[in-house]
Amino acid sequence: MKKYSIKEKILVILLPIITVTVLYFAAVFVANNFTLPPCLTYEYFGIYRPGCGMTRSVLALINGDILLSLRNNALIIIGILLLVALYLEFAFKVFGKRLWFPIHSNRFIICALIFVAVYSVLRNFLPFIAPV
């Protein structure tokens, strides 16, 4: 197993803090200075894609409204949780510990793809999971 230097360990600790800070200010800047266009797929065909509502979901999350964020697009929260799991796994590795999440298994990936497909279809028929 590779030995990581103190500088690399500090970078592993600072990286998520810097990333979240930059993304937060970028999202606030976009929200305050730009009017985002409507979803053309919904406008022309009347259906929600898997990505519909992601911008509103991120903005709701920035404002601390987790339930509204989930309502607009649950894939944002799920994606963030997966990224956190990957980061924790890597951070533990850098500090010499072993932590393994099942997100690397083929079964998990297949289940995740099925979930996204089912979620994408159901949000067009169930109004309580459609974007606001």
Backbone angles phi, psi at 79, to 5 degrees: -60, -40
**Given this model, what pLDDT does residue 1 score?**
67
What token pair was written down for 84?
């956190």
pLDDT tens per residue, range 52-90: 888 889 888 988 899 999 999 999 999 999 999 999 999
Mean pLDDT value across residues 2-29:
91
- Distance, CA of 80 to CA of 86 (rounded, Å): 10
For residue 51, pLDDT beyond 90: no
What is the C-alpha end-to-end distance of the chain, expressed in Å?
A: 48
Residue 106 CB coordination number (10 Å): 7
**pLDDT, tens digit (0-9, with 9 covering 90-100), for 97-114:** 988 889 999 999 999 999
pTM listed for this prediction: 0.84
